[in-house]
Structure 1
Amino acid sequence: MWEWRNGASRLAMGVVVAALFAPMTVEAASFTVTTGTTDTAAKTLTTTDTGTVQSGATLAVTGAAITVSGVSNAPGTTINNAGTITATGRGIDLTGAATPRNLTLNNFAGALISTVNDAVRLNTSIGNGTVTINNSGTIVSSTGYAFSLNGNTSATGTVLINNDSTGILRALAADAIRASSGTTVITNSGLIDSTASANRAINLNSDLTTVTSFQVINKSGGTIQSLDDAIRVTGSGATATTTSGTYLIDNSGTIQTLGTGSGQAIDWRDLGSANAMVRIINRATGIISAADNDAIRPGLNTVIENYGQIIAYGVTYSTSVGGVRPSADAIDFGVRSGTVYNYAGGVISGAKNGTASDPGGDITVYNYAGATIIGRNGAGVGSGGNATIFNYGTITGAIDGVSTRSDGDGIDVDFRADIVNYGLIQGTGARGYDSGNRLNNSEGIAFGGGTVQNYGMISGAGAGIVANNDSNTDNTRSGVAATTITNYASGTIVGQSSYAIRFENKTGTSADNDTIVNYGTIIGNGTIPNPNGVVLLGDGTVDPANGTLNGVTYGAGSARFIRGDGSAIQMGEGNDVLTNYGTIIGNTGRAVNMEGGNDTVNIMKGSRIVGLVDGGAGTNTLNYNKVGLGEANRAALMAGQTVNIGGTLYTSFQIVNANAPSFSALAGASAAGIANLFDNLPLNATGLGVVDMLDKVASSGDVSAALSQLSPSSYQSLGRIGMNNVQQTTSLIGQHLTQNRINGLGTDVSGLGNAMAMFDGGMFDRSFGGDRALAAVMAFPGSAGSSLAEAGWGTGVADAMAYAPINKAPALRPISVTADHGFFVTSGASFAREGARADAPGFKANTVNVLAGYDQRLSDSIVAGVFGGYAFTRGETDSNGSNARISTGTIGGYGTYQAPTWFATLMGLYGFSDYTTSRVALGSFNDAKFNGDHYAIRGTVGTDIRVSGWVVTPEIGLQYMRVMTDGFTERGGAAALIVGSDSAESLRSSVGARFAYDYAYNGGVLTPELRLAWLHEFSDGIRGINASFADTTLPGSFVTATASGIRDRGVLGAGLSGKLAPLTVLSVNYDAIIGGSDAVTHQVMGRIKHAF
């Protein structure tokens, strides 16, 4: 036993001695390194211990600076660094197997943690604990990670990293942050950097099935950057395909990779689980960019919301079969599927494509108004799988001017695509050859089939839309699905240098049956390929594509098979349907080729097609649902001829259904000639303006009225306006003659009653008897007696005069009986209108007229004179807005004869006019300037009857007028006319009476007057106006019949005349001329005359 004890004692002593020489274990305890000191001792913290390095203090340790071990329940262990922590190993190392682990690290502004190995490591599971790192200073590792979190395998733990605006997290030779399991939230306002070596700024690399949530929130001003991927999720096998975690990037700052050969800004392609929730948000201030790679590689079902910029710069150009170009896409889904929302202000720009995917990668893209997606050397939106695309903004496929291989398609989808466009989809150019050495072409949309609903613009530098797959292995160029395109009224589809739409499916199945419904505009350009030409590949060999098209089998390299036939729309094989309400323009002369199959073309009201519509091979049906297909053209088309229907050429239709009448069947009498011309158009009448005009007529709610607008019928109003103007002029002269006759001898004897008394008394005779004259004068009411009284003759003057010799009679006050000359100025304004009739448009015309004249008494019974004047008319010649301005000069002469019991007047005039017209036809203005002239002769006979102080003057007259216009050519659109000369004439009688009464006042006389008359037209009958269209594609002339003039009119007028001075007479007059068909003319006239 002693020996045992001795042995045991020796063993115990050995252990004690060995322990004395072993390194001392640091006991866990809180610590503080105070300002101005340097501590080189390693520290250990546990549970709720706190370690503090004050400002200006340094903790410099060989090995690990601070080890955190043991269970640390909340709130856990705290490390506060305001100074400097350096270590040749790790800075902070959380170790041990005990859980939970709670840790808070606060690295304050100005503080530094600098290590050789990891700055912070989680080397154990943290259980359901929380590790929080708040950095406002600098944390840097020279060989390890700034944060190595991948030792944590707990799905229930949480790691929170907050890097403030002054914070820097940097790794010089590894990833800056290596994230792991559980919930990780990285909030950055500062800099997370791994650009010193080809590593990642943030890399989630662990068993992804243990990831609950991984979030990176990069705030405005924050930068996350690296040479390799800036943010990556690394997973493999089942862990990547079964994870059900939430993955989020919310970026308002900058996430970027730098340098040639860089990685992606975001690479989450390893995420292949349908159970994961994957979301990337790039805010308005956010920039996600890659210097030389794809900007984003999303995981499966990733939702990308972009308000900012996502850019792949692609500085490296790679060489391939077709040429040199970059390969970087802004968003490359690879085999993954996902959704992109690009909001207003958002830009997605790829050095190659804006978006891309590989076969199996189906994508959905929403590009909103004000947003842009551009592939600078490829497609704006590309997909190697299927795609659904809603565009309200701009999607562009372009070329950069550097690459020798560029395929700028707005949208390029290899398989099926469903596209709704309200914005702009454009391909702006192509260069070089594709991967199969086929010549690149720029299309607005290139896809394998599907649907397109277009409300905006789809344009290709080459073609507008093509449905095919030119790289399929059977060389048929067939796509995968039937295509339906609906182009709405606001939509435009244009091929800038080639066809607008082409379908190339030749599967022999229902996938060949395509449909187009067009309400908008579809335009094809370019040239017609040589049908016998051969298409070569880039290496000079023949393109192997071959097959049957439009009933013809073509061998390899056929230009007709590969390039098409130059039509704006080429429907390909299958039983296709084209329904057109809008405009289709084939600037090659070919608008539509339905090609093979039993096809149907529906021409609807509103359809405008410029170019040939070819039914192609098969049994084809034309359903013509707009006005214009006559029986003769229908029969000719069914007989195999090419015919022009409504301005569009049609051929190769075996079944023709006319569901609307011809133009002639709907035309009124005034437009019968035009309708006949439209129903028998020559084959060259296919200009866009002509077709547009024909369509407006055919689509009008009132075809007859629309045809009438094209006729020169509104010009017949010029003749009637001219006649009204002549009537106004003759009325002015007629009023002058009447008042000249009754007022022409002077002031003191003015008034119709006084004149009649003087006439009866013989004072108009040059050898009148004094006794009779005096008696007549004394019988005058008022003025004559007053004049004698004022001369002092008194009441016995009659007796004295009666017995006095003529040569002894006392002189009367001067009364201008011997005034033989007169000068007058008269002016009038007329406001005329006529209502529309079945065979004549209505019109309105306002005219002002000024005349001046001179007359002279040639004898006691005869007065003659001359006059001249000017008139200006502004008129509306129909109800469509057509108008005319007419300037007219007039000269003429007149005379009157006064017998004892009757009188007669005669006048004649000649006028010359300048016309400026604008005829509105179907909304277009057609202007012209031309000349015309007119002449008129008028005579009247009447008598004056005195009845109880009234003078009643019945009068009859007859007037002949002729108004002529020269021929002219309008300036305008397709509706412009060449109009022949026109001549309208009138023979008009008048029967009426005037009623006048003299009122004496203050030595003067006022004479009011009332007039009534009936006018009857004997001439102004139906005539023809010859015209033809100025557009030479509408040859032939036509005659437009005018309406006859209104036969009967009534005149109701009133006037007032009086003296301003002994030799000056002023008169005003108003007449209303009223006829049928709402024909009303109001004339207001004024006249001043001075006798001498």
Structure 2
Amino acid sequence: MADATTSTSGLAGRCLARRKIVAGTALTGVLATFAWGGAALAQSTYDVVISGTETAPIDMDTRSPGGGILHLEQGGSISVTSDTENAINTSTSNAWEFQIDGTLRADGTASGIASHTDDTVRVGSTGVVESPNGGAAIYNGWSGMTVENSGRISSDKFSIMVANGTLSLTNNAGATIEGTVQVASGGTSSIIDNYGSISGRDGRAALSLAGEATIYNREGATMSSEYNAITASSGVGHLENAGSLTSTNTEYVGSAAAAFYKSGTIVNSSTGTMSADIGAWIGNWYELTSTKGTLTNEGTITGKSHYGALFNNLTDASLTNSGMLRGVNEGAIFAGVTNSEITNSGTITGSRGLYFMNSDYAGTGHASITNSGTIEGTDTYALGKASGINYDLTLDTGSNLIGQVQADSGDTLTLKGTGSEDEDLKGFGTLTMAGSAWTLSGEVQADALNVSSGSLTLTGTDLSFGSIALTDAAELIVNGSFNSSGATTVASGSRFGGSGTVGETTVQSGGILSPGNSIGTLNVTGDVTFDAGSFYEVETDPTGTSSDKTIASGNVVINGGTVQHIGFDGTYDPSATYRILEGGTGLTGAFDSVTSDYAFLDPSLVYDRDNYTVDLKLLRNDISFSDKVGTTNQRAVAAVSEAAGHGNAVFDAAAFLPDDAAVLGAAFDSLSGEVHASLQSSLVENTDLLRTTLGQRLRSFGANGGPQAEGSVTRAATGADMLRAAAAPEVWAESFGSWDRKDGNDNAAALREDTSGLLVGADMTTSEGTQLGVFAGYGRTELNVPDRASSATADSFHIGAYGARSYVAGAGLLSLRGGASYSLSDVDSDRTVAVGALTGAQTANYHAGTAQVFGEASWSVDLGQAEVEPFAGLAWVGLDTDGFTEAGGAAALAGQSQDMSTLFTTLGTRVSAQIEVGALPLEITGALGWRHAYGDVTPFSTASFEGGAAFTVEGAPVVRDAVLLEAGASLALSDTTHLTVGYKGQIGDNAREQALTLRLSARF
């Protein structure tokens, strides 16, 4: 024996001991406490610490019959070569705890650690337990054990084997277990919690578990094997996988990432992957188990050679997939399963997507399938089955089937939500529409079609049903090759439209039959019956005499109801007759009424009892166009449109407008050319921009005849100082822009107007103190009337002259200012007409001339820090617009020349003050006023359609009363140069205008 040491210390009358031992040292009569992982373990009777090297087998029962704790320290080792003796062995009922931080190796076919009763093995991060030559690294043969691994446990066969009892295994992150973890047939249960890596060797599973098995494979963890990654052979298994389960060798046909051979639950989370010959396997080939197998997949499951998922010989099976489930053969196969429930919102794909088959133990079965994802059969069936299997298939929003769907009369198909499907859906016993909107464009066949809600549209080339029933507020639209041999019932609130052939048809009270779905014919084999309160909806073609039609081989039985005519846009022939019903053997009864959606046409029915037909005629009623519209402009246009008569394009388009007040009003407004009138008021009001600019310029002269700040009043005392001396000529330039919004009124539409431009001028002061000047400029106005689909631009060229004179008047200064201008505008207009079938753009180009004369009197008073100037202004504006001829078709207008004469008065007060910015004088001004308009404030446009009478419409009016707001600032850059900015706002009834100006002036 090498050295042996013992140390003791007292604790509450008991003895704690620490012994360092080598081969053969016996420990007796001591009490020890051992700490592992930073936490104190429960006190045990013995504590054995090995820090050196041990080569002989250790029999813990011989050395310490009462059980205890063995600690193999880091750097220590136990290495035993034996085929008969385990490296560490326990056989009594006393429990042992093993803390392995060193290396434990069994080189023979015996085990590394062979425990007996509820032992615990903890392998630290530096610990290794290995048995490379056929023995188990850790073995328990009696009542189970607990293993926690943070290091490495390795065997060429079984890393951990429990022959009886329960295994509780935790494999921590970074830890590895090499070799099968097995709970043999005598085992009762196991709990496996893996954060690290577990791999099988020599063709064995990573986990092979008998009894009840609960397995957690955490995110980032792996389990792999050449065969099954997990095998649960006899009990019910429960697996939650967030990591990776892999079978690495496809030579093992039938290997699975997880195989539960009795039953169980597999949950593969969004981060989980399972890959093997068979991705997931629940059930048994050799017997029918009266249990349930459940697979929930949110991640990826791959069957590399066979199936993504296999359920076999189960009473119940459940598959819920929101991830990717794929197999080379089937995405999922159900073999010998009595009841299957499949819910898919992800992707299931294989040569056959879902397949249901019999087995030697179950010859029939039923499946319930709900799909809102993709089910794909890359070779044949998206859904396939053997005889004796029936299923209920529900397609919900998001559903996508790729491949054939195999069905027979025992199967049902239900549509929910919204969607479309172009695969063939044939052979079903019942097809039920219970969603909101579906379109099926493949071949569709069923013994019975029930449309209980929403709208179902069928467009396939082979549509065949036994009976058809529409209930509630459902709608069926058929546009394909349609045939139904059984009875068709259209219940209250439902609507059936389409072409094809149906059996005996009854339209119940509140139901709607609409043959054609656009112009087409519905054939009825047998009688067609319209109950009282039913509706028969037909469309007619304005270009000819074709219409929707129902042809019955038997009787047409009409017990009342209403024919509803729906017309296409177009111009109808008032003399046309449209065949809408035809019987083969008889015609009885009559409809209660016939209606149309036209405002100016009345439909009538013609019954031919001898030939069993019903025809529809459209006749002009006695309602005038103008009776159906509300505004002055609309009535004016409606009257001349009606007077044009049949054959005139405008009349024909208007005559077939629907009886809808909004549509009628918009149509006649579209024809009116209102934009031409509204442009006139814009041109009149835009003259204010010139008056504002020139007024600011005239107020910019000082008492000595020199220029002063923008808007300033002469700061002088009284008497001769107020007389102006002659001043050198001065030139100036001013840019301006304004934004105008008018809300319109009950007659004319709202408009938006943007104007910008530039004026240049020159002026001087005479020796008598009179200011005189001239100016010229250019401006562009863009007018938009959205509600009339109209716009116009006016490019205007301005010329004019202005002048001013000031006089001493008491304590202030009386100033008289005035001017005159003329503007020539080049106008381009564009409007879009939309009246039923009559549409197109109408354009015109013409000229307008605007003249104005204006004057202002003001009296300014110097209050020391500020100057106040009450004022009164008067302006006259005269506008003349040329006649015009629009280009664009039948709705083009020929407009007459127009003129306006408008007078404006303005009352208000200006205030100004002067401060210094650095060494430069800055003049700040403001004004508040009221403007009133007299004379022509409502613009008119008189025009006519080609060959028609003239009519007059009104445009958006000139604002009659408006509040004026002005603000400005002028900076004297030098004695001869000034920079001025100004703002002006006008707020009137339903109108707002804002303008900005920028002027630079210089004196020579």
Asked if 2 retains the 8 angstrom alpha-carbon contact of 1:501 and 1:569, the reply is no
**2:225 — aligned with what?**
226
**Aligned-partner Cα distance in 1 for 2:874–2:993:** 23
Q: Among 199, 202, 205, which residue is 2:207 paired with? A: 202
Alignment of 1:732-747 (within 5 A): none
Letter in 2 for 1:349: R
Conserved 8 A contact 1:941-1:956: yes
Where does 1:793-942 land on structure 2 (aligned, <5 Å)? 835-848=743-756, 870-878=778-786, 884=791, 886-890=793-797, 911-915=825-829, 931-936=844-849
Gaps of 5+ in 2: 1-27, 29-45, 285-290, 358-364, 469-476, 552-562, 571-577, 583-590, 602-627, 642-656, 696-703, 706-715, 764-772, 802-818, 856-871, 909-928, 967-981
1:37 aligns with 2:55: yes
- Aligned residues of 2:740 and 2:994 also touching (Cα < 8 A): yes
Deviation at 1:705, TM superposition (A): 3.1
* Counterpart contact for 2:370–2:396, Cα < 8 Å: yes
Aligned to 1:286: 272
Deviation of 1:255 after TM superposition, in Å, equals 2.0
Aligned to 2:95: 75
Kindly indicate whether residue 325 of structure 2 is the aligned counterpart of residue 348 of structure 1. Answer: yes
User: 2:216 aligns to what?
Assistant: 217
Instruction: Report SS of the residue matched to 2:117.
Output: strand
Deviation at 1:160, TM superposition (A): 2.7
Which structure has the highest helix share of the two? 1
Partner of 2:417: 454
Show the counterpart of 1:375.
349
CA shift for structure 1 position 719 = 0.8
1:259 matched to 2:282? The reply is no
For 2:146, the equivalent position in structure 1 comes to 132
- For the 8 Å contact 1:629–1:662, the answer to whether it is kept is no
Evaluate the alpha carbon distance shift between residue 1024 and residue 385 of structure 1 in structure 2; reply closer, same or farther with a 3 A threshold.
Answer: farther
Structure 1 residue 1015: deviation in Å? Answer: 1.6
Asked if 2 retains the 8 angstrom alpha-carbon contact of 1:45 and 1:66, the reply is no
Whole-Å separation in 1 of the counterparts to 2:191 and 2:983: 98
The structure having more radius of gyration, on CA atoms, is 1
Aligned twin of 2:811 = none
Within the candidate set 940, 943, 946, 1:1020 is matched to 940
Kindly provide the amino acid, as one letter, of the partner of residue 504 in structure 1.
Answer: Q
Q: Secondary structure at the match of 1:504?
A: strand
**Taking structure 2 as the reference length, what is the TM-score of the superposition?**
0.55
Alpha-carbon distance between aligned partners in 2 of 1:226 and 1:659, rounded to the nearest angstrom: 77
2:436 is aligned with what amino acid?
A: N
3-state DSSP of counterpart to 2:400: strand
Which string of whole-angstrom CA distances, capped at 9 and with x for unpartnered residues, describes residues 929-964 of structure 1? 95521245989999xxxxxxxxx9999998653363
CA RMSD of the aligned region, Å?
A: 7.6
2:445 counterpart residue number: 504
How far apart in 1 are the matches of 2:488 and 2:692?
81
2:875 matches 1:962:
no
Provide the rounded CA distance (Å) in 1 between the counterparts of 2:950 and 2:328: 65
The residue aligned with 1:691 is: none
1:406 deviates by 4.4
**Mapped partners of 2:148, 2:962: distance in 1:** 103
Which amino acid in the other structure matches residue 399 of structure 2? I
Pairing of 1:150-549 with structure 2 (within 5 A): 152=164, 157-163=165-171, 165-170=174-179, 178-189=184-195, 191-197=197-203, 199-205=204-210, 211=211, 213-220=212-219, 222-235=221-234, 247-257=237-247, 258-266=249-257, 270-271=261-262, 278-290=264-276, 292-297=277-282, 300-314=291-305, 327-330=306-309, 332=311, 337-341=316-320, 346-358=323-335, 360=337, 362-364=339-341, 372-379=346-353, 385-389=366-370, 391=372, 395=374, 397=376, 399=378, 405-407=379-381, 415-421=391-397, 424-427=398-401, 440=404, 448-454=411-417, 458=419, 463=422, 467-468=425-426, 478-487=427-436, 499-500=440-441, 503-506=444-447, 511-518=448-455, 529=461
Residue identity matched to 2:275: S
Contact 2:81-2:106 within 8 A present in 1 as well? yes
- Amino acid of the structure 2 residue aligned with 1:842: A
Q: How many residues align?
A: 768
Q: What amino acid is the match of 2:265?
A: R
3-state DSSP of counterpart to 2:454? strand
Q: Per-residue displacement from partner, 1:435-454 (whole Å, max 9, x unpaired)?
A: xxxxx5899xx994343333
Task: Quote the offset at 1:986 in angstroms.
Answer: 2.7
**AA partner of residue 84 (structure 1):** R
- From 933, 950, 953, the equivalent of 1:1043 is 953
CA gap of 1:38–1:965, structure 2 versus 1, over 3 A, is farther
- What is the deviation of 1:845? 3.0
Indicate if the aligned counterparts of 1:515 and 1:577 stay in contact, CA closer than 8 A: no
C-alpha separation in 2, matches of 1:713 and 1:75: 98
**In the aligned structure 1, how far is the partner of 2:786 from the partner of 2:595?**
32
Going from structure 1 to structure 2, the CA distance change for 1:380 and 1:306 (only over 3 Å counts) comes to: same
* TM superposition shift of 1:873: 1.7
Give the 3-state SS of the residue equivalent to 1:722 in structure 2. Answer: helix
- What is the CA-CA distance between 1:74 and the residue it aligns to? 5.0
What secondary structure is seen at the aligned counterpart in 2 of 1:486? coil
Change (3 A) 1:671 1:518: farther
Q: Which amino acid aligns with 1:170?
A: G
Q: Percent identity?
A: 14
1:84 alignment partner in structure 2? 105
- Asked if 1 retains the 8 angstrom alpha-carbon contact of 2:906 and 2:932, the reply is yes
- CA offsets, 1:948-1001, max 9 Å, x none? xxxx999999865336364359xxxxxxxx9635525434456899999xxxxx
**Cα deviation 1:88-128 (Å, max 9, x = unaligned):** 5777778xxxxxx61426485333234547777766xx5xx
Do 2:739 and 2:755's aligned partners in 1 also have CA atoms closer than 8 Å? yes
Residue of structure 2 equivalent to 1:58: 80
Alpha-carbon contact 2:681-2:938 (below 8 Å) kept: no
Partners in 2 of 1:76 and 1:447 — Cα distance? Answer: 63
| Distance in 2 (alpha carbons) for counterparts of 1:280 and 1:479 | 32
Q: Partner amino acid for 1:328?
A: Y
TM-score (norm 1): 0.52
Whole-angstrom CA distance in 2 between matches of 1:627 and 1:730 = 59
What is the 5 A alignment of 1:681-692?
Answer: none
CA distance 1:503–1:916, change in 2 (3 Å): same
Q: Counterpart amino acid of 1:425?
A: S
Indicate how the Cα distance of structure 1 residues 214 and 441 shifts in structure 2: closer, same or farther if over 3 A, else same: closer
Structure 1 residue matching 2:673: 3-state secondary structure? helix
Instruction: Give yes or no for contact 1:416–1:481 (8 Å, CA) kept in 2.
Output: no
Opposite residue 75 of structure 1, the aligned amino acid is A
Structure holding more strand per residue? 2
Taking the aligned partners of 2:736 and 2:177, their CA distance within structure 1 comes to: 94
Deviation readout 1:149-175 (Å, 9 max, x if unpaired) = 56x4xxxx423345565443426xxx9
- SS at 2:223 equivalent: strand
Q: Distance in 1 between matches of 2:321 and 2:382?
A: 20
Given the superposition, is the C-alpha separation of residues 628 and 907 from structure 1 closer, same or farther in structure 2, using an over 3 Å criterion?
farther
Q: How much does 1:60 deviate?
A: 0.8
Tell me the equivalent position of 2:40: none
Post-superposition offset of 1:416: 0.9
Matches within 5 A, 1:662-741: 662=598, 703-705=660-662, 708-709=665-666, 713=670, 716-727=673-684
CA contact (8 A) 1:514 1:571 kept: no
Measured against aligned partners, the alpha-carbon deviations of 1:182-220 in whole angstroms (never above 9, x if no partner) come to 2222344555444533x5443445xxxxx4x32223345
Tell me what 1:983 maps to.
Answer: 895
- Work out the CA distance in 1 between the residues paired with 2:196 and 2:875: 108
In structure 2, C-alpha distance between the alignment counterparts of 1:89 and 1:184, rounded to whole Å: 24
Cα offsets for 1:508-551 (capped at 9, x unmatched): xxx532345149xx796xxx75x8xxxxxxxxxxxxxx987799
Q: Distance in 1 between matches of 2:831 and 2:179?
A: 82
Change (3 A) 1:729 1:166: closer
Preserved CA contact (<8 Å) 2:130 2:154: yes
